[in-house]
Each structure stands twice: as C-alpha cells, then as structure tokens.
Amino acid sequence: MTTAGTVAEGATVWLTGLPSAGKTTIAHALAERLRAGGRRVEVLDGDEIREFLSAGLGFTRADRHTNVQRIGFVAELLASHGVLALVPVIAPYADSRAAVRARHRANGTGYLEVHVATPVDVCAVRDVKGLYAKQAAGELTGLTGVDDPYEVPQDPDLRIETEGHTVAESAAAVHALLVERGLTT
Ligand code: ADP
C-alpha cells in the first residue's frame, strides 16, 4: 500500500519464452492479482504491438530486434511513471533482451526477466494460435524454437516451468519475485 502523495515504484517484467509457453496467460493472471492489490499495471501484448507500434515489421532477425527495442522503450516509459509493465513477448535474441535491460539500468528503472521455460514439445501440443501445426504442414517458416532461433536466457531473474502447474501457480511464482524485489506487497 502506498501512502498519499507517494508513487509506487514501477518496473518492467519481461516474460520471454516460446510461442504457447504461457507468457500471455501468466501476464494477465498476474495483472489481475496486482490490480486487485492496488497497483497500476499494463500488459504490453505482443500481437497488439505488432498491429500498431510495429506495423510493417516482419520476423527477420533485424525486425524482431527492432520490435523488442520499441516495446522495451514503451515499457520503460510506463515503468518510470510507477506502472508495472508486463511484457509477454518472445524476444528470442539475448542481445535484444540485454539492450533493453541495459537501458533500464542506465535510467535507474527496474527490469526483471522471467523465462517461461515450457519445452517446445509441450508448446507444440498447446499450439494456441495453430502456428506449430502450420509450420509442420509447411505453411509457415521461421517459427521460434522450431526453425528460427530462441536463445535461452542464461541468467534470468526467474525461470518457471509451467508443465504440471496451474496458471495461478505460475502467476504466483512471478508475484513472489515482485514481492521479493519490493515491487509489491
Ligand atoms: P504465449 O503467450 O507464451 O504464446 P499463451 O499464454 O497464449 O502462450 O498460451 C499458453 C497456453 O498454455 C494457454 O492455453 C494456457 O491456458 C496454457 N497453460 C497451461 N498451463 C499453464 C501455466 N501453468 N501457465 C500458463 N499457461 C498455461
């Protein structure tokens, strides 16, 4: 709880992982819990961003990098105004993630990286958007984790397994990290 006149500390919480790993689901469950606790929260949904902020960008290495930098910039702006910016976006390249983290650090804004470490075979069964099926059928190429790179975070603030866990449990694990870092109670 913040007292009148003080602004809660914001931060960016980047949920990185393969398509269908659970990033979006966890972000929204966590957002609900944080809002119920009185925090200002924004979920920067990857698909929405691609429609507006990153319209025209594709899925080459360069475009994926640009997309992540733009999202990182917006997340940081929000975070610097006391918002918890939850970012469920694949961000497959370590150097893209490192650049976002470095800019947050340089500006004194909190940044946490959460690796949603669902194995590719589990993601392919979930296949929320049908992307794995399309790739298998030869209708799509460049699917992260299948025929496009995913560089596994080497030193995330938190790594969670979603397999065998409920959404509430996974969201609680990220919530516990925020409590530990003094970002919520
Ligand atoms: P992503 O945003 O990573 O592409 P989504 O969140 O859209 O993935 O989809 C993940 C799917 O996995 C959802 O259908 C969700 O209900 C399911 N799921 C099963 N267990 C979990 C869990 N513990 N955490 C998050 N999602 C889970």
Q: Is 27 one of the annotated binding-site residues?
A: no
Residue 156 CB–ligand 1 contact under 6 Å: no
pLDDT value at position 47? 86
* Residue 175 main-chain phi, psi, to 5 deg: -60, -40
- Name the residue of 13, 16, 25 to mutate for ligand 1: max ligand atoms within 8 A of Cβ: 25
Tens-binned pLDDT, residue by residue, of the chain (185 aa): 444 556 689 999 999 999 999 999 999 999 999 999 999 999 998 888 988 899 999 999 999 999 999 999 999 999 999 999 999 999 999 999 999 999 999 999 999 999 999 999 999 999 999 999 999 999 999 999 999 999 999 999 999 999 999 999 999 999 999 999 999 99
pLDDT value at position 109? 97
Domains (range + CATH), the chain: 11-179 (3.40.50.300)
Planar angle of CA 79, 82, 87, nearest 5 degrees: 35
Other beta carbons within 10 Å of 167 = 14
pLDDT value at position 1? 47
Residue 22 CB–ligand 1 contact under 6 Å: yes
Residue 122 CB–ligand 1 contact under 6 Å: no
Q: Whole-model pTM?
A: 0.96
Give dist(CA 81, CA 42) in Å, integer: 12
